[in-house]
């Protein structure tokens, strides 16, 4: 195995990738090699994203197979909201009883792609917020271009939640304020490494309080565009998380090792993961 390339000046420090779509078909053939490369890059824990009932079941199976290293979320992504079968809520609730499930989600609103009709997205989102509150788990949240609707639905329930993270944050300053006000953590992906569309996030990065910050790859999506040498495949992997850390520490003008300790600590606290 070749050791994954590291960004210059980034020490080998323990990191938590809070958003990995390890159940995606892109990882079907070499998942074990992906995990080995992640370990070599210092990724000590990963939260495997559940995006519908079958993927949440698979995420949990992976967490059982790699106890202490992989943990799972269970939920319905807004893209999948229209396709849910009756009984989905009970199925997610049952999965959430398993100790390896550390959050309800991925849930939220995506009015950018609109793969599910908006009323369906909203109903399934609110039902999962209520479920998370009932079972005392944090929420793993997704928001794209909902024009404030996401926060309008979230805010009345925020006080009942055991916290949460707004993953892959790409919103405005106003969105950031509302997320922080609702007590949410902020997940930063390789979006921040994108010189074409990451400018707003780069500028806002400094405004996120340290105790609310987390980092993630959202693999296989969002390959950091700063990655050198450029891999042959466009597929992102958890082993590229240090590149997100590198850009975030540059935008915040913060020591990368300190920032790593902060984000790792935050993730371990919110999702009750074993500390490094």
CB-based contact 3:33 (threshold 8 Å): no
Q: Specify the residue, 16 or 165, whose C-beta has the smaller distance to Zn ion.
A: 165
End-to-end CA distance of the chain: 24
Q: How many CA atoms lie within 13 A of 201 on its CB side?
A: 23
For helices 149-158 and 118-135, what crossing angle results, to 10°? 20
Q: Specify the residue, 147 or 274, whose C-beta has the smaller distance to Zn ion.
A: 147
Residue 101's DSSP bridge partners are 72
Query: Considering the complex, what minimum distance in angstroms separates the CB of residue 106 from Zn ion?
Result: 5
Q: Specify the residue, 140 or 243, whose C-beta has the smaller distance to Zn ion.
A: 140
Query: Considering the complex, what minimum distance in angstroms separates the CB of residue 51 from Zn ion?
Result: 8
Torsion sign across C-alpha atoms 54, 169, 263, 185: negative
Binding segment for Zn ion (CB under 5 A), chosen from 54-62, 141-149, 156-164, 200-208, is 141-149
Binding segment for Zn ion (CB under 5 A), chosen from 65-73, 92-100, 134-142, 198-206, is 134-142
Q: Specify the residue, 142 or 212, whose C-beta has the smaller distance to Zn ion.
A: 142
Query: Considering the complex, what minimum distance in angstroms separates the CB of residue 24 from Zn ion?
Result: 12
Query: Considering the complex, what minimum distance in angstroms separates the CB of residue 40 from Zn ion?
Result: 26
In this structure, what is the dihedral angle of CA atoms 131, 137, 143, 149, given to the nearest 10 degrees? 50
Query: Considering the complex, what minimum distance in angstroms separates the CB of residue 67 from Zn ion?
Result: 25
Q: Does 212 bind Zn ion (CB under 5 A)?
A: no
- The CA distance from 266 to 212, in Å, is 7
Binding segment for Zn ion (CB under 5 A), chosen from 29-37, 81-89, 135-143, 254-262, is 135-143
- The CA distance from 53 to 222, in Å, is 24
Contacts with Zn ion: how many residues (CB under 5 A)?
1
Query: Considering the complex, what minimum distance in angstroms separates the CB of residue 142 from Zn ion?
Result: 4
Binding segment for Zn ion (CB under 5 A), chosen from 26-34, 57-65, 139-147, 227-235, is 139-147
Query: Considering the complex, what minimum distance in angstroms separates the CB of residue 167 from Zn ion?
Result: 6
Q: Select the residue interacting with Zn ion from 45, 55, 66, 142 (CB under 5 A).
A: 142
Q: How many CA atoms lie within 13 A of 265 on its CB side?
A: 9
Exposure b/e, 120-132, CB count within 10 A at least 16 = b = bbbebbebbbebb
Radius of gyration over alpha carbons of the chain, in Å?
17
Q: Specify the residue, 142 or 249, whose C-beta has the smaller distance to Zn ion.
A: 142
DSSP string, 181-231: HTT-EEEE-GGGG-TTT-HHHHHHGGGS-GGGEEE---BTS---TT-SSPP
Q: Which residue is nearest to Zn ion (CB)?
A: 142
Q: Specify the residue, 37 or 142, whose C-beta has the smaller distance to Zn ion.
A: 142
Interface ranges with Zn ion (CB under 5 A): 142
């Amino acid at each position: 195995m070749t050791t994954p390339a590291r960004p210059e000046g980034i020490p080998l420090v323990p990191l938590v990738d809070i958003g990995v779509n390890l159940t995606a078909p892109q990882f079907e053939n070499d998942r074990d090699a992906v995990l080995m490369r992640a370990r070599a890059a210092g990724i000590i824990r990963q939260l495997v994203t559940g995006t519908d009932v079958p993927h949440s079941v698979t995420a949990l199976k992976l967490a059982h197979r790699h106890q202490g290293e992989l943990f799972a979320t269970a939920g319905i992504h807004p893209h999948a909201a229209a396709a849910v079968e009756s009984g989905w809520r009970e199925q997610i609730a049952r999965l959430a009883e398993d100790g390896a499930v550390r959050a309800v989600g991925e849930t939220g609103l995506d009015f950018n792609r609109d793969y599910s009709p908006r009323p369906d997205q909203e109903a399934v989102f609110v039902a999962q917020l209520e479920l998370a509150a009932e079972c005392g788990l944090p929420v793993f949240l997704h928001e794209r271009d909902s024009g404030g609707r996401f926060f309008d639905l979230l805010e009345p329930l925020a006080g009942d939640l055991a916290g949460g993270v707004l993953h892959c944050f790409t919103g405005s300053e106003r969105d950031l304020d509302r997320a922080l006000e609702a007590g949410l953590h902020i997940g930063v992906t390789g979006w921040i490494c994108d010189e074409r569309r990451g400018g707003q996030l780069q500028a806002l990065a400094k405004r996120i309080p340290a105790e609310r910050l987390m980092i993630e790859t959202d693999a296989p999506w969002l390959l950091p565009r700063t990655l050198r040498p450029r891999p042959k495949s466009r597929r992102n992997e958890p082993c590229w998380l240090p590149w997100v850390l590198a850009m975030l520490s540059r935008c915040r003008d913060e020591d990368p090792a300190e920032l790593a300790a902060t984000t790792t600590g935050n993730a371990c606290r919110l999702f009750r993961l074993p500390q490094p």
